[in-house]
Amino acid sequence: MNDNEHTLARRVIALLDLTSLNADDTDATIEALCRKALTPVGPVTAVCVYPQFVSLARHTLNTLGGDAVSVATVCNFPGGNLPLAEVLAHIREALENGANEIDVVYPYRALIAGDEQPGRELVAACKSLCEGRALLKVILETGELNAQLIYRASIDAINAGADFIKTSTGKVKVNATKQAAELMLQAIADTNPEVGLKPAGGMRTLSDAAQYLHLAKDILGEEWISPRHLRFGASSLLDNMLQHIGLSAETPAQGAY
């Protein structure tokens, strides 16, 4: 390990959304996730859990001294095809339970079928609920879209009010790719550089994460890269980052953050 790898690994940890979205998640799973979020070298940016665990995650983080760690949850997940009223009801409940960030799945199947309007309407309606209360991260499911549709969905989501655009749910065959991220970053550069990018799924190593950092720097500049603009949605990254730093995932955090 060299100093550059050490520094890069620490940087990636600070950009992580540590996630557990499994059918067999339990209270114990989420409590362990929150403990893991407070790493020996500082906290991740957020934990992302199913809506029924939002309150527990917030309480657990606060109890551990992780007040600064955001709680994110998913809505319209993973299919992106729930009725709009139902999606909005789920978001309202998540916000009431303490969610700081909402990761909502864009109705990508409608876009594939040639209808852009459902996506625009969903993002705009979700934004109106989240405005001033939570970041809105819109999951495009880029592994199901061609290049033209990735760019089109990115532009539409940004124009409708997305704070972040996110590649994937992690529940399809193809998740984050450098090609999709490049199209999404270009859409951000073309419309609103205040919008962030969240590649999610399929990243496991420092070199995986580094390619997205380099891509973001090339397109939007070094100063753009921060937790407000770039996140990694790949929990398997954390263990690898800690290994690069010379720590294990079981090493306890030192103090509160």
Mind telling me the catalytic residues? 103, 166, 198
Residue 104 is inside which H or E element, if any? strand 101-105
Only one residue has tokens 């549709």, namely 149
87 residue type, one letter:
V
Cis status, amide bond into 78, omega within 30 of 0: yes
Per-state percent for the chain, helix, strand, coil, to nearest 5: 50, 15, 35
Query: Do 219 and 237 meet the contact criterion of CB atoms below 8 Å apart?
Result: no
Report residue 56 as tokens.
């527990």
Rg (CA), the chain: 17
Distances (CA, A) of 144 to 41, 148, 182, 212: 36, 12, 16, 20
- Other C-beta atoms closer than 10 Å to the C-beta of 181 total 23
DSSP 139: E
